[in-house]
Chain A
Amino acid sequence: MSNFVPLEMIDRRALIRSLALGLTAMGAMDVEAAQHVHAETGAEKAKNGIYKVKTFTAGEYKTIQQLAVLIVPADSVSGSAVDAGAPEFIDTLASQNGQIADIFHGGLAWLDAEMRKRYRATFVAAKPEQRTQMLDALVEAGRELAERQGEELVYQKSPIYKDFTGYTVRRANELGAGVAFFDWVRKMTVDAFYTSPIGFKDLNYIGNQALAKYTVPKEAMEYVMKRSPFA
């Protein structure tokens, strides 16, 4: 009872860690290869072979994987959102809820259409720098929209038409639909990543244990007090 983390999960963490290393070594990730590695290493979803996509077409799923790895890439500390099962998470929830499925079907179609307009290539087929340019544009547009939240443009009362009391309009952003979609991919990817054993380790979360006695390490206390206004 000293630790509630089940043993098999620790094994799984080790597996996924090795998997993450493999993916990093591959550099620009080939998602098919990644899928293959998943099956080979026998991580959690490999019980029944390769994860069977329930909701998305192969093309859509590849795009989701590509987005997930861009949103949370592997680094020296931990693996990527693909390693943490983000695409499977999104696919599973979309299979349970048509509203989520539609958000992704529509959003992915919007993304590819916008990519074709900009670069004459789908998101997956585009060059890596084109993909990040697209995402940067969405982030930028998102910030702009957030800043303007609550702002209203009001058309003045008319002196001519006395029944006209004015109306409000919202300024449109041509990337608005993409911003909304990216927010969905990002939040679900981030959720899948940080709720996974890889994400726990990335943050160095070390709770959820049964302890006979609760203590606070002296070194942590001293570290903070030294840096505080009370040093």
Chain B
Amino acid sequence: MAQNAISQEIFDAVVVGSGAGGGTAVHVLTAKGLRVALLEAGPMLDVGTEFKEHKVPTDYDHRGAEEGGKAYFGKGKPFGFFSTTSGGWELEGEPYTVGEGSQFQWFRSRILGGRTNHYGRMSFRFAEYDFKPYDKDGLGFNWPISYQDISPYYDKAEEFIGVAGTVENVPSCPDGKFHAAPPPKVHEMLVKKACDKLGVICIANRRAVITKNLNGRAACHYCGQCGRGCQSASAYSSAQVQVFPAMKTGRLKVFDLAMVREVLTDENGKATGVLYVDKKTRTEKIIKAKVVILAASACESTRILLNSKSKEFPNGLANGSGLLGRYLMDTVGFGLSGTVPALEGMPHYNTDGYGGAHLFMPWWLWDKHNKLDFPRGYHIEIGGGYSMPGVGSYHGAARRHGYGANMKSKIREGYGNTIGFAGRGEMIPNIHSYCELDPNVVDRWGIPVLKFHFKWTDYEWKQARHMEKTFGEIITAMGGKVAGLSASQRESQGISIPGTIIHEVGGARMGKSAKDSVLNGYCQTHEMKNLFVMDGASFASNPDKNPTLTINALAWRACDYLAEEMKKGNV
């Protein structure tokens, strides 16, 4: 490899990926005085050009349908033109494949900050029981850590990134260090009344948005457009909140458009750095470091490890257990909507709020599983309000009402009368859901790509049916009319397509021993002391809580441990 350009400097650590895990790692490690290299497969983030916050459709001649009306052909940006996704389900030149009989969609962002630029900012702590799921129902796997281990790091993560919420004492969703939560909107209060009647817990949402100034970040200004990127960084994104400040320490060097192919090792069984393809020049380069931290996303980190093959490690690095790529999980998703007559004719007001709903329903049947036909739980997210009209908003209504004065007044009357619910539930890890290297395909950088296999089982389907029944009951209790599914719709839309909730985790799960896991409780590979995986790959289970906050907390804890071990000379 003499022809590779090798960095002069040997960094204390090289971090691959700049999302929630990588952002937390560079923030914590540079604060401890370490010199860190950060590699991102996409470009640097330019907030000014990338974020479309506060824009209106007429700021663009395509109104949001995108150049040439791409959105009309299903080829627009995921989540719409205004979202700051910088990537998507398919990336040009960077394919993945899906095994026969499986469905899986993989969302990748290629930009500094990764998916934290657009994500929903839902920030729920795992419950105590979430760390010991096997003990609870004999399914899946326990984590090697407990809630008590991670709780102080939830505190740190929440205090640093900022999470708004309320203290509620609900065992399924432990309280945290919260900023004040904004008040419920009208349709949400109606949902809450219905939930009270049905015995469903409905409390203030918990989102990574600050409602008072914090570390130079301004409090939320309630435009509700977190998904477009937040120019005032009131909503957390790792680029703005962690990477940019870490760069100011002078101890962080960012390499953008750097696509990592593999982790390099020496004959002593230690990681020595990473080999990456510099996308700007299409050349291979090497970064040397004392510690290698992968945080490229669950599947991308798994891919790097699988691709790090050598004579000593013919199946990839840290894969002595053969579990690399196994037990991949996503969140179980299902949605249902309805119309609510009580909302008709309400005096309009600004329903933007702090982005997303102001209330949500945590899992409320955690101690009633003996009465259910499925294990594990789900939480419910609420949609509704007077959202900004966009391309596609009224296609359905227009079809229903024909055209002309009648259609126009029907659309006007129906605006804001719809309520929607999305269930987000926990799947049981299964042997049919995994990723591996596709032996026949490489991406445009010459790197072998992933092939996905995925199956929902009865556990997930039954949970989705429980969601459907519950959402229908809530809508009915509100006096609303459910937009029900036909039998054939239920077959195709009765459960989310695997991957599409973008909570894919697992693949390099943590566990007690090298035999049955890839990582230990500190996100450190069992087999190589100076190799860590600090993203969702480490998850032993995928509770219904959105994964980002737990990725933040696990990475923070791992970095504290890593720094201590380095001091002791163990790494």
Contacts and interface: CB of A to CB of B under 8 A. Distances in A.
A210 interface: yes
Nearest to B56: A208
Nearest to B192: A230
A191 B403 contact: no
A99 interface: yes
- Name the residue among A1, A77, A139 with the largest chain B CB count within 10 angstroms: A139
B386 interface: yes
Interface in B323-382: 341-354
B198 interface: no
Given A92-B61, A93-B62, A93-B69, A207 B224 contact: yes
A142 B68 CA distance: 26
A152 interface: no
A109 to B, nearest CB: 20
A225 to B, nearest CB: 7
B390 interface: yes
Interface string B241-262: 0000000000000000000000
Q: From DSSP, what is the main secondary structure of chain A's interface residues?
A: helix
A207 B352 contact: yes
A199 to B, nearest CB: 6
Contacts of A228: 190, 193, 342, 478-479
- Name the residue among A75, A190, A199, A221 with the largest chain B CB count within 10 angstroms: A190
Interface in A89-103: 89, 92-93, 96-97, 99-100
Nearest to B398: A190
B477 A208 contact: no
- Name the residue among A192, A196, A208 with the largest chain B CB count within 10 angstroms: A208
A67 B344 CA distance: 30
B58 A197 contact: yes
A191 B65 contact: yes
B393 interface: yes
A71 interface: yes
Q: From DSSP, what is the main secondary structure of chain B's interface residues?
A: loop
B315 to A, nearest CB: 46
Interface stretch (B177-185, B291-299, B424-432): B177-185
A93 B350 CA distance: 32
A223 B415 contact: no
A187 B398 contact: yes
A195 B223 contact: no
Interface string B116-150: 00000000000000000000000000000000000
A224 B72 contact: no
B390 A208 contact: no
Interface stretch (A116-124, A161-169, A211-219): A211-219
A139 B190 contact: no
Interface stretch (B165-173, B404-412, B549-557): B404-412
B54 A4 contact: yes
B343 to A, nearest CB: 6
Interface residues of B, number: 68
B69 A195 contact: no
A142 B351 contact: no
A154 interface: no
Contact of B395 (A44, A93, A190, A203): A190
B485 interface: no
Given A216-B186, A224-B190, A228-B478, A211 B405 contact: no
Nearest to A100: B69
A159 interface: no
A183 interface: yes
B403 A206 contact: no
B346 A220 contact: yes
Interface of A: 1, 4-5, 9, 44, 70-73, 75, 77, 85, 89, 92-93, 96-97, 99-100, 132, 135-136, 139, 142, 146, 150, 183, 186-188, 190-192, 194-197, 199-200, 202-217, 219-221, 223-225, 227-230
Interface of B: 54, 56-58, 61-65, 67-69, 72-73, 182-187, 189-190, 193, 221-225, 341-354, 386-395, 398-399, 402-405, 407-409, 411-412, 415, 477-479, 488
The 6 A-B residue pairs with the shortest CB-CB distance in the complex, in nearest-first order: A195-B57, A97-B68, A96-B68, A210-B221, A194-B389, A93-B69
22 contacts: A44-B58, A72-B407, A75-B409, A89-B63, A93-B69, A96-B62, A135-B402, A150-B488, A183-B399, A191-B392, A200-B389, A204-B415, A206-B348, A214-B182, A216-B185, A220-B347, A220-B349, A221-B189, A224-B186, A227-B342, A229-B477, A229-B478
